[in-house]
A and B are shown apart, each in its own frame.
Chain A
Amino acid sequence: MTLQGYREDDRDLLTGSWLAGELLGLPVPDRPPLAEPATVPPPSGDDDELCVLPGVAFVRYTGLDWVHRRARVEIGLREGHEDAASMLAGLAVDHGLRDLRLHRLYGWITPAVSPAARLLTEAGFRREVSVPDGFWLAGKLVEREIWALTHDE
């Protein structure tokens, strides 16, 4: 499977039950049913690149810096497609490094609810920073982490 360019028919993929801004956004257990879903905007300029795996997930490279060759990555998977998370992480890395020729990919992980650490490690990411009390979740401030991958030429 390969990522594809975004089309208007893919719009439903841009809203879901992952945490906003999460590097590998999976549906959150025990999320209140009326909690506002996370959403990302359709691509609108040179600062972001949005790809999709139709019906399954989006991969967004935002804050693209073409000088320093870096981008923050967000992936959002639709409910029922959690099994594709590992593949998506690999596709996101491959597209970012090979097609976009980026040197550094990074993003947010929320350890309290994210099972993504192992998947991201397998995809080549490593934990760089812990940000204590960095995110409001489930009635309290929780730790968030920055995970990153740098490309060795």
Chain B
Amino acid sequence: MTTAITAPAELPRWSSRVPRGQDREQLLDLFTEPDFYFRTERPRFLPEREIDEILGDGARLLLADGQLAGLYAFDAEGSPHGCHFSLNLRLRASAPLPWWISAYHELDRAIRWQREVVRLSMHFAEFDARGLRAARAMGLTEEGTLAGVAVHDGRRHGRVFFSRTWRPAS
């Protein structure tokens, strides 16, 4: 079942929660979108078991006015005291660019409310036009491209890295 998102002009009220059994149909539907690149570069070909693995490791539902709008996950990078996290964020195809920007800023605010973050990074494949457009609109620092690490449509592509950094507390 696809839930239509029909109000692009206004920013929604964001909320989130852990996936539950009742969400399964909607979650599987997200991965039918050809560019739903959440922890995968081949969403439409993932078997259900691999989708379960993707969702089982800290993924959260992102809800816009209570409706499923996408997924996100924060992952710690390196040693815990480094305060370096990466953010995987994916909104469904019908979500407009301002929603990406708004969701990113709310997630940024949320994680830094609860813990010290010195570096928050995101990365998107070179063929991920929506993801790259969103990252550049979020005001992140574009750091460079790790070449040749993803295969898509019969060709190798790079992954573009973005970040924000903050002065450490100590």
Contacts and interface: CB of A to CB of B under 8 A. Distances in A.
Contacts of B13: 33
B15 A136 contact: no
Contact of A136 (B14, B107, B114): B114
A32 B109 contact: yes
A137 B113 contact: yes
A35 B14 contact: no
Interface string B5-34: 000000001111000000000000000000
A138 interface: yes
Contacts of B16: 33-34
A33 B14 contact: yes
Interface in B84-122: 106-107, 109-116
A129 interface: no
A16 B71 CA distance: 20
Interface string A23-38: 0000000011111100
A95 B13 CA distance: 40
A31 B169 contact: no
Contact of B14 (A34, A137, A141): A34
A33 B169 contact: no
Contacts of A31: 113
B113 A35 contact: yes
Q: Which of A31, A136, A137, A138 has the most CB of B within 10 A?
A: A136
B89 to A, nearest CB: 11
A35 B62 CA distance: 12
B31 to A, nearest CB: 22
A16 B122 CA distance: 28
Contact of B169 (A32, A35, A140): A140
A45 interface: no
A41 interface: no
Nearest to A34: B110
A33 B106 contact: yes
Given A31-B113, A34-B110, 5 more contacts: A33-B13, A34-B106, A35-B114, A136-B115, A138-B113
B116 A34 contact: no
A48 B114 CA distance: 25
Max chain A Cβ within 10 angstroms of own Cβ: one of B13, B109, B113, B116? B113
B116 A136 contact: yes
A140 B62 CA distance: 26
A80 interface: no
A136 B114 CA distance: 6
B137 to A, nearest CB: 19
A76 to B, nearest CB: 16
A132 interface: no
B109 A141 contact: no
